[in-house]
Structure 1
Amino acid sequence: GGGGGKFIMKRFSLNAICILIAATALALVFPGPSQAGKFKKEYKMTVVVTAGYYWGQGALKFAELVKEKTNGRINIKPYWRSQLLKGAQLKSVQMVANGAIDCAMESTINISPVITEANIFSLPFFINSFENLDKMENGQTGRAVFAAMEKKGLKGLAWAENGFRQVTNSARPIRTPADLKGLKLRVVGSPIFIDIFRQLGADPVTMNWADAVSAFQQGIVDGLENPVGVLLPVKIWQYHKYATFWNYLVDPVVFFWNKKQWDKFPKEWTHKRKNSHYISMIR
């Protein structure tokens, strides 16, 4: 209803503050025009969705603010639908770590096969509110995830939201776990998601988001699970008659950068980066 929409937009507005602070902090890294030649003409950012999603809008805003705060010296270009990964959305960690891609705005689900600490966000019915999610991101959990990312060659910058995940399908209402039996549901290819839905009796089908949209349009799968912010832009109601709002888990979105590239930025920024790390996650 209208109240729910206001809540989503409120969260989105608060996330814009996170993006602004992250972008402003990033701007502090860069020295004056005398060293402008050290920067690339374009910094590639991988994004799973497109600009029509809240997530994609956040990526565009981040790029816009970084360009503004660096006086046009840093130009980030988002590449949609994981096209730099050839659709393999679970490969973003490796590609950013090896420098093939500069940075990412990525779901914790997609980094979890490599950054296993991020699987904590994918435990079903474990996180029951945005307030508790905030506490985790701002506390020991968030620090543990960022520390694990550093060990893999990444620099975590800030958190944003993707929302609680729901289920939609074209076959029948889901009121009890028994109603899931035999339903072919698209899930991301993370082992924990496959296990969750198998345990619930469904038939999980793994596919990247770039392929998923056409799959449910063509009826290849019965349904899928995703946050409302992803379901609305694809007009899911045109293909799925039933929606189950059960908030079974929530996956945050995280900004991260290639660590070797990040470490080449001025050392005097390190202390400022440490202090702004916590500020950047406040929404």
Structure 2
Amino acid sequence: MRKTIVAVLLVLLLAAGLFAEGRQEGAEETYKITAGIGLNDKSAQYESLIYFKELVEKESAGRIIVDVYHSSQLGDDREMMEALQRGEQEMTCPSTAPMVPFVPEYGVFDLPFLFPSEAEADKVLDSAVGQQLLDKLSDIGIKGLVFWENGYRNLTNSYQTVRTPTDVKGMRVRTMENPMHLDAWRAMGANPTPMAFGELFSAMQQGVVDGQENPWGTIYLQNFFEVQDYATDTGHVYSPFVLMIAQSFWDRLPADLQGIVMDAAVKSRDHNRDLNRRYNKEYMEKLKDVMEVTVLTPAEKAEFQKAVQPVYAKYADTIGQSLIDDVLAEMKK
């Protein structure tokens, strides 16, 4: 009888030990990242976010799950950033222009014709100057991870071929609600009209605006060629995306998972740039079949550059002249 009792106790102890061990092994908390973007599921931005998702879920062995929402399903860029601040959403990837009200220094990327080439943009964004800008997001409750690419913005219109600032005089051009963009287009002679992106297609269709400016990918994927006849390769603003995560969520992540997320962010950055540049070249060629696409000569582009110089002087204090100087110095290295 006594042996039986001992045997039963041993079995119970062994079972309890296995149960405790099982609980300990399964006790690692899982985390969910809700990630939203503005562009649709055909964009390089979306494909890059899926690439990020796959890397994170694989390397974390399922401890992090990433749910991706495209086409502004969770709101526009500003609304999603505010959701990150409140801890209601974990990740987004806005263009830098809507970020200016949050961090004025990001206005440096709105300076027209700042980056002569993508290589020079990469150099600045991946430098200490770029990291300083990412770090500034911590002041508003957001962790800046890396810079992705939206690309150079180009002009389309339904009015005429554009080769000089004279050609845009009086043209109603939809822009983002960004003071520097508005002033740049005024300096070029246009009549800039700020408007939400979701309203743009119908506004062009109804003649409320004559034109708009966006990267080739957006122009093609949003079917703007259905309501616009002319495109000009102005490349007037290089627009980065910023992959960001809620600081409150980041601080809850264990160090090993933070490392996995950051590693995936860097790899997806390089993937995004390669993909976006290849796609934009393809989109531009496809647009040539459905629109008149004008490529400016260096002399023609110089006329636009000259026209917008007052914008640099006007916003030097707002952005910070030292930051502008640091960006320019980084490109000269």
Q: Which of the five TM-score ranges fits, normalised by the shorter chain?
A: 0.7 to 0.9
Matching of residues 1-283 of structure 1 within 5 Å: 33-36=26-29, 38-40=30-32, 43-85=33-75, 88-267=76-255
TM-score (norm 1): 0.78
Q: Which amino acid in the other structure matches residue 167 of structure 1?
A: L
Q: Which amino acid in the other structure matches residue 180 of structure 1?
A: V
Q: C-alpha displacement at 1:168, in angstroms?
A: 0.3
Q: Which amino acid in the other structure matches residue 81 of structure 1?
A: S
- Secondary structure class of the residue paired with 1:142: helix
Q: C-alpha displacement at 1:268, in angstroms?
A: 5.9
Whether the 8 Å CA contact 2:56–2:260 is kept in 1: the answer is no
Deviates more, 1:122-131 or 1:108-117: 108-117
Q: Which amino acid in the other structure matches residue 39 of structure 1?
A: Y
Q: C-alpha displacement at 1:251, in angstroms?
A: 0.6
TM-score (norm 2): 0.67
1:220 to 1:61, Cα distance in 2 relative to 1, 3 A: farther
1:270 to 1:46, Cα distance in 2 relative to 1, 3 A: closer
C-alpha distance in 2, partners of 1:114/1:133?
22
C-alpha distance in 1, partners of 2:206/2:133?
38
Q: C-alpha displacement at 1:218, in angstroms?
A: 3.3
Aligned-pair RMSD on alpha carbons? 2.5
Q: Which amino acid in the other structure matches residue 35 of structure 2?
A: M
Q: C-alpha displacement at 1:155, in angstroms?
A: 1.0
Q: C-alpha displacement at 1:137, in angstroms?
A: 0.6
1:274 to 1:231, Cα distance in 2 relative to 1, 3 A: closer
Q: C-alpha displacement at 1:279, in angstroms?
A: 7.5
Bigger helix share: 2
Gaps of 5+ in 1: 1-31
1:280 to 1:64, Cα distance in 2 relative to 1, 3 A: closer
- Secondary structure class of the residue paired with 1:113: coil
Q: C-alpha displacement at 1:90, in angstroms?
A: 2.8
Rg (Cα) greater in structure: 2
Give percent identity, aligned residues only. 29
What corresponds to 2:308 in structure 1? none
Gaps of 5+ in 2: 1-24, 274-333
1:275 to 1:92, Cα distance in 2 relative to 1, 3 A: closer
- Secondary structure class of the residue paired with 2:83: helix
